[in-house]
Structures are given as C-alpha cells and as structure tokens.
Homo-oligomer: A and B are copies of this chain.
Amino acid sequence: MRRKVLDVAEAAFQARGYHASSLGDLMAAAGVSGGALHHHFPTKKALALAVIEERVAAAVDETWIAPVRRAASAREGVRQVFEAVAAELEQQGFVRGCPLNNLAHELSLADPEFRIALAGIFSAWRQAIADKISADQQEGREQATDPQHFAVFAVAAYSGAMSMAKTAQDAGPLRDCLAALERCASQATSPQREPGTRRRRRVLPRFGTS
C-alpha cells in the first residue's frame, strides 16, 4: 500500500509537479483511502520527502551513478548515459524531464528540508562522476582534468539539455550536448583518436524515467 502510494506519487510529481498533484488525485489513482494515506504519510510534505529520498535518489542511482561506475571510463560513462536517455526519449516520443531537476526547481526554495534532500542527490551524482575521473587519472586514462569541474559540467549539461528537451518535447538537445561534450572530450583526453569514428553505439535501455 505504501509502495503503491509512492509509485503513484512519484509518477504524479514528475508529470504534473508537487503543487499541481492533489492528495485526492493520488488517492484515486492509487486506490487508497484518505485514512490509509494519512497513516503512512502524515502530511503531503512527508510524502514528497519520501518520494525524493526513496525514489528520485534511486532513479539517479540507476540512471547515472551505476552506469558511470561500471563504464570503461568517466567520459565513456557519461557518453553512454546521454546516448541511452536520448534513445529512450526518442523511442517513447515524450519527454517528461529529469525527476531530480523537476522537483528541484519546484521545491528547493519552498522548504529547507526539500532543498537539503535534493542537494544531497545532486552531490552524490556529481561525486560518482568525479570519483570515476579520479580513478581514470590514477590508471592513466585521463589527463589533469579537475574531477569536480568535470562532474559539475557533465551534470549541468545533462540537466540543462533535459530542461530544453522537456520544453521543446524533443530529444535533440541531448544529442547536441552529447556531440559538443565529445568534441571537448576528444581534445582533453589522449590525442590519438579521431572523433568521427564511434557513433551511435547501442546501449541497453535499462533506464526508466516513466
């Protein structure tokens, strides 16, 4: 029951936002009575906090952190995620946006607790990429790039591209940013590689923003 409420709330907050999703809508969509909802989540804020901490964090973990960790390098991991997300968006023909950024924009100024929770997810996201860059450097796969700078940059490019993609309802910005990022990468890493050779490598669509 709690699980079903979280499912519905996660989807509704992503699709319509926090303030535009009424508890009545959620109760109806989840087939849950008011008493049940109030039992598990005393307030709407508590529900949103649970969605952020349990679902949004997990989504970022699944979509970004895990793929980057298991990638051959940080840059390759970032590339794969961009590619996978763009492919999925093109396949489903609809852009719902990044769950973290959607809620971050609406809630980070609304309540300090929201802001802290959301900032923590951003931080973990960045740290995973920065750690991967550091590992790459120790193994000689990467030059003297500042890990934090690169991580912030990758997250920002993705977030901003997704923001545009959502507004335009077109995955193009993600592909454009990926292309621009690869141009950067090809020059910042080992110079003996021409940047036109690898394109459109298939990536398993494990990710799920729906």
A interface, CB within 8 angstroms of B: 15-17, 19-20, 96-97, 101-102, 104-106, 108-110, 115, 118-119, 122-123, 145-146, 148-150, 152-153, 155-161, 163-164, 166-170, 172-173, 175-177, 179-181, 183-184, 187-188, 194-197, 199, 202, 204-205
Contact = CB atoms under 8 A, between A and B. Distances in A.
A177 B156 contact: yes
Given A157-B160, A159-B160, A166 B16 contact: no
Contacts of A176: 148-149, 152-153, 202
Scoring A118, A122, A197 by chain B CB atoms within 10 A of each residue's CB, the highest score goes to A197
Given A176-B153, A180-B153, A105 B163 contact: yes
Contacts of A156: 156-161, 163-164, 173, 177
Given A159-B164, A163-B156, A168-B205, A149 B180 contact: yes
19 contacts: A19-B19, A102-B105, A104-B163, A123-B168, A148-B176, A152-B172, A152-B176, A153-B181, A155-B160, A156-B158, A156-B161, A157-B157, A159-B163, A160-B160, A172-B202, A172-B204, A184-B188, A195-B197, A196-B197
A55 to B, nearest CB: 17
Contacts of A155: 160, 164
The 7 closest A-B pairs by CB, nearest first: A156-B160, A159-B160, A19-B19, A160-B160, A153-B180, A105-B105, A152-B176
Contact of A168 (B19, B102, B204): B204
B179 A146 contact: yes
Nearest to A14: B109
A196 B144 CA distance: 14
B168 A122 contact: yes
Contact of A110 (B20, B109, B159, B168): B20
A172 B153 CA distance: 11
A129 to B, nearest CB: 12
